[in-house]
Amino acid sequence: MELPNRLADLRPLMKKVVAPEAETMLLRHWNSQGRAFGHPWAPWSEYTLARRTKKGNAAKGILRDTDHLFKTLFRARSADSRLQVVPGGIRLSLNTGVHYAIFHQVGTEYMPDRQVIPDPIPPSFVRRFRAIVKEFILTGRVQ
C-alpha cells in the first residue's frame, strides 16, 4: 500500500492498535484518579462527600456521580474520530464531547482541577504512539 493511501485511511491502525493503547492509558489514569501520571485528583470537599453519601453513590468515586462523563469518554467511537491526518502530521484527538468536562480538566473558582485526560499526555504513551505510527507509515503494517 502506498504512503498516500495509508495516510488517507488510518482506520486499520486506529482500530487495531492506537485505540486500545489510548484506552489502556486513559483507564489507568481514571482508575488511579490521576496518580498514575503525576496529577492526583483532589479529594472531595466535605459538602460533596455529604451530598454524594446522601445520594447513595459515594462508593462510585470521584467524577463518577452519573457516570455520563466516564461512559462518554470510553464509548465505542468511529476510528476517524480519534486519529486524523492534519497539515504537518497526525493528530490523536481525545475529546469527551461532554460540555462540563473542561471544568473538571482545568478547575473553576469553586472546584479543583481533576484532569479527565492526562495533561501532558504521558511520555511513555507518546513514544509508543510515535513508534506505532512510524511503523505503519514505513511498512503499512499494523503491529
91-105 pLDDT, tens per residue?
A: 777 777 789 999 999
Cell of 34: 490521576
Confidence band (pLDDT; 50, 70, 90) for 80?
very low
What global pTM score does this model have?
Answer: 0.81
Could you give the CA distance from residue 113 to residue 100 in angstroms, rounded to a whole number? 12
Q: Would you state the pLDDT for residue 109?
A: 95
| Domain locations along the chain | 3-139
Question: pLDDT tens digit string along 111-123?
Answer: 999 999 899 989 9
